Amino acid sequence: MKAENFTAKVKKVHGFTLLELMISLTIMSLIILIVFGSFRIGIRAWEKGERDLETQQRLRTVFGLIKMQLSSACLPGNKPEDIKDSLLKGDSKSLRITSRIAVSPANGYGMVYAYYSVNSGSGDDKESLGFYEKNIVFISDWKSVDYPGEDDLVELLYGFYSIRFEYLIPGDDEGDEEWKETWDSEEDGGLPKAIRITLMQDAERPPVSLIAGIGYGAGG
């Protein structure tokens, strides 16, 4: 009788079946995947936030330097004989000016010649803002700096969906003022009232604009 009870108790004790073990492993795998997936999403969001913060900080710094230079744009009293075109000439994708303020630390004094150019990156649709600057005192041949090559340009901003320049036509009243896509200080007469740079990071975000007011008609 005791032997039969012992045998019955032994039969009731058993481990996990193969099916139960497979179900448990599957559930554990799903939990691990969810946890690590959430971790990856968090890391990517953090990295994107760091990139956006770095971009905004760089944008503010570069915008501040550009605004100081554009606001101090001027026309030299005597234009060099070996430059045919105006010393302040621009369109939606390029701008060249003379200014009392230098962006580059190497040109920390005197009047400078500056050239801005919007360039498309190779292999993508992103645009960058290139920059060239030289102190007027050291320019012996204006033709060499009139329109510098891409190798001479310093990349100030990059990775934007669109970058464009606009120029404000002075008017007697605010209602007479108008933004235009091109400017020539000889044809349009002196300097624009302001220069606007508009950047779009992508098609979904609103554009960011910098407006630099200029003393109209200022000479050198």
Q: Parallel, antiparallel, or unpaired: how do β-strands 208-213 and 154-160 relate?
A: unpaired
Q: Per residue in 82-95, pLDDT tens? A: 676 777 889 999 99
Cβ atoms 66, 103 nearer than 8 A: yes
In this structure, what token pair is assigned to residue 8? 């019955």
Q: What is the mean pLDDT of residues 58-68?
A: 88
- Is 39 among the domain residues? no
- Is 68 among the domain residues? yes
Instruction: Between 55 and 116, name the one with better pLDDT.
Output: 116
pLDDT of residue 217: 44
Distance CA 68, CA 51 (A): 26
pTM of the predicted model, to two decimals?
Answer: 0.72
- Is 45 among the domain residues? no
First to last CA, the chain: 119
Q: What is the mean pLDDT of residues 128-134?
A: 91
- Is 128 among the domain residues? yes
Q: How many domains is the chain built from? A: 1
Place of tokens 């740079």: 197
- Is 55 among the domain residues? yes
pLDDT over 50 (residue 219): no
Cβ atoms 207, 200 nearer than 8 A: yes
pLDDT bin (cut points 50, 70, 90) of residue 34 is: confident
- Is 149 among the domain residues? yes
pLDDT of residue 218: 44
Q: Per residue in 132-143, pLDDT tens? A: 998 888 887 777
What is the domain extent for residue 193?
Answer: 50-213
pLDDT of residue 14: 57
What is the SS3 assignment for 76-88?
CCCCCCCCCCCCC
